[in-house]
């Protein structure tokens, strides 16, 4: 395995062995083409290492391994309790290796280490353990239709699942998909984002150590246009689950139609955060900051449109600007004092700066930020942007309507509850939303009328793996997490038993 791994020392001094191959059938292999992906440290723009990129032929091999494992008694006939215990063991192994996994995540992605360790890895552990507990509680039912027929249902796995994960939460999104799929007895071919290829490969060794049979989980890196498209179109894959942009989600829907795959999509968002005049303003300020500025603003549910009642509009902007300046410390993601690290790639960095220019051109008011930050660990290097606030934003402006995916927020005012709802719902997206008010009747009334898959009342983006997650409109299809997440990875078979009816 010497040519399929490399010894690395991360910026925080942690040394570890980084796998660089494709994980197929519980073995590390090179790609058939020899093509590699180079991972770039977004903090200083240096190369970390290169890993093998899967070709169409490699996807074929991974699917064949997954299909064989699906039918193999070692997995097919495993008692659900044993399957669940294996998942719980994987959760324990993640806990043992949490500091290394968090280090890789921060190095490869740019998110702050405190979030990688205290947020993402906690979620990975919790999600795997949660669905491990569900593994032996997935069952059918008997249905009484009279004495002449005995009817019952069986819950079965969907089959071989292709899973394509994004770069903003590589390990957490992997856990969201691996958890319910494994609990239901499926086998998996999972592809990491080409921008963040490293942490999922380290996780692969833990999956093998936990005892999962060969072929149950196959992990590939690769380019979306080749490996991702091969997964979406593969006739040997029964389901595709994808998290990423709406544009890519639409392409996957088209490609997956070749054999009418079961699909789950979690795509883009432009989520509103509504603040009424009776809201507890200091809490609204703090939650609004978390809702858009955490994880460098690279969150699909980021509440990136703040709608404030006109009577408190100026006061909110004043307080929000001061809070962002105090809390959003930009810098080295491994430093304890840092709140915001770099954007994940140069492409994303340039995209955000492009939206800054668009906001200026359209006449919005730049309250603060919107500039390159050049005082990172290596002066003049790194994809850092100062947290950006625009006010006086109109619903017709590009920065109001399009997803930026960065530390970039727009603020607009409204007069009435009806106007707030019209503004909130005036979007092609419908993922998350938030409402701030001390009037519970209004809170529930507005929550019911907002066109979104999720509504936070007096908070923002405090998601939980036990609660369903997903959107409406062009923000996706289906739900992940919670008990609802199991539905995407199981199917119901009905069995009719003739108890004596003669014809």
Q: Give pLDDT tens digits for 1-22.
A: 468 999 999 999 999 999 999 9
pLDDT number for residue 336: 97
**Domains of the chain in sequence order:** 5-267+477-492 (3.40.605.10), 272-464 (3.40.309.10)
Work out the angle at residue 488's Cα, subtended by the Cα atoms of residues 483 and 490, and round it to the nearest 5 degrees.
Answer: 90
Catalytic residue from among 123, 194, 266, 480 = 266
Please report, in angstroms and rounded to a whole number, the separation of the first and last CA atoms in the chain: 66
pLDDT number for residue 104: 98
Q: Phi/psi of residue 9, each to 5°?
A: -125, 115
Residues 304 and 292: beta-carbon distance below 8 Å: yes
**Annotation marks residue 419 as catalytic:** no
Residues 241 and 476: beta-carbon distance below 8 Å: no
Average pLDDT, integer, range 254-273: 97
Q: Give pLDDT tens digits for 209-232.
A: 999 999 999 999 999 999 999 999
Question: Of all residues in the chain, what percent carry a pLDDT higher than 90?
Answer: 99
Residues 30 and 4: beta-carbon distance below 8 Å: yes
2-5 CB contacts, 8 Å cutoff, 24+ apart: 3/30, 4/28, 4/29, 4/30, 4/52
Cα–Cα distance between 210 and 188 in angstroms, integer? Answer: 16
Q: Give pLDDT tens digits for 92-133.
A: 999 999 999 999 999 999 999 999 999 999 999 999 999 999
pLDDT number for residue 195: 97
pLDDT tier, 71 (very low <50, low <70, confident <90, very high otherwise) = very high
pLDDT number for residue 303: 98
Using a cut of 0.95, tell me whether the model's pTM lies above it.
yes
Distance of CA 366 to the CA centre of its chain: 30
pLDDT tier, 414 (very low <50, low <70, confident <90, very high otherwise) = very high
pLDDT number for residue 201: 98
- In 3D space, the residue among 157, 200, 209 whose CA is nearest the CA of residue 180 turns out to be 157
Cα–Cα distance between 69 and 393 in angstroms, integer? Answer: 54
- In 3D space, the residue among 81, 126, 122, 129 whose CA is nearest the CA of residue 98 turns out to be 122
Residues 5 and 193: beta-carbon distance below 8 Å: no
Beta bridge partners of 491: 156
Q: Is 128 helix (H, G, I), strand (E, B) or coil?
A: helix
pLDDT number for residue 394: 97
Q: Give pLDDT tens digits for 314-366.
A: 999 999 999 999 999 999 999 999 999 999 999 999 999 999 999 999 999 99
Cα–Cα distance between 280 and 172 in angstroms, integer? Answer: 32
């Amino acid at each position: 395995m010497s040519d399929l791994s490399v010894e690395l020392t991360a910026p925080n001094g942690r040394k570890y062995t980084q796998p660089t191959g494709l994980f197929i059938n519980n073995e590390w292999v090179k790609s058939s083409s020899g093509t590699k992906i180079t991972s770039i440290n977004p903090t200083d723009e240096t190369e970390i290492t290169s890993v093998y990129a899967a070709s169409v032929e490699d996807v074929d091999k991974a699917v064949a391994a997954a299909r064989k494992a699906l039918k193999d008694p070692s997995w097919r006939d495993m008692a659900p309790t044993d399957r669940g215990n294996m998942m719980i063991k994987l959760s324990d192994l993640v806990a043992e290796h949490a500091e290394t996994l968090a280090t890789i995540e921060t190095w490869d992605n740019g998110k702050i280490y405190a979030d990688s360790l205290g947020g993402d890895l906690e979620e990975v552990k919790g999600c795997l353990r949660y669905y491990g507990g569900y593994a032996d509680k997935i069952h059918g039912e008997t249905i009484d239709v009279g004495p002449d027929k005995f009817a019952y249902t069986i819950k079965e796995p969907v089959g071989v699942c292709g899973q394509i994960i994004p770069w903003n939460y590589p390990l957490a999104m992997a856990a969201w998909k691996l958890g319910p799929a494994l609990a239901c007895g499926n086998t998996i071919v999972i592809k990491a984002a080409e921008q963040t290829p490293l942490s999922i490969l380290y996780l692969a060794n833990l999956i093998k150590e936990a005892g999962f049979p060969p072929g149950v989980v196959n992990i590939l890196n690769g380019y979306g246009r080749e490996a991702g498209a091969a997964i979406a179109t593969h006739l040997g894959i029964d389901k595709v689950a994808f998290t990423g942009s709406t544009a890519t989600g639409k392409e996957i829907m088209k490609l997956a139609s070749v054999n009418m795959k079961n699909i789950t999509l979690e795509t883009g968002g432009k989520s509103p955060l509504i603040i009424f005049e009776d809201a507890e303003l200091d809490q609204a300020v703090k939650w609004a900051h978390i809702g858009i500025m955490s994880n460098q603003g690279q969150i699909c549910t980021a509440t990136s449109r703040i709608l404030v009642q006109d009577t408190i509009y100026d006061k909110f902007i004043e307080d929000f600007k001061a809070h962002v300046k105090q809390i959003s410390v930009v810098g080295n993601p491994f430093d304890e004092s840092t709140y915001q690290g770099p954007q994940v790639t140069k492409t994303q960095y340039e995209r955000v700066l492009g939206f800054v220019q668009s906001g200026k051109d359209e006449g919005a008011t730049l309250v603060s930020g919107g500039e390159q930050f050049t005082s990172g660990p290596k002066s003049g290097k790194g994809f850092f942007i100062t947290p950006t606030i625009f006010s006086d934003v109109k619903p017709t402006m590009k920065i109001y309507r399009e997803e930026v995916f960065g530390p970039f927020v727009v603020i607009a005012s409204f007069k009435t509850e009806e106007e707030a709802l019209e503004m909130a719902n005036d979007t092609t997206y419908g993922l998350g939303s938030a409402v701030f008010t001390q009037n519970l009747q209004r809170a529930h009334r507005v929550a019911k009328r907002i066109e979104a898959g999720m509504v936070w009342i007096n908070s923002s983006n405090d998601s939980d793996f036990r609660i369903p997650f997903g959107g409406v409109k062009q923000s996706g299809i289906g739900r992940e997490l919670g008990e609802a997440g199991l539905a995407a990875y199981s199917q119901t078979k009905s069995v009719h038993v003739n108890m004596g009816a003669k014809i």
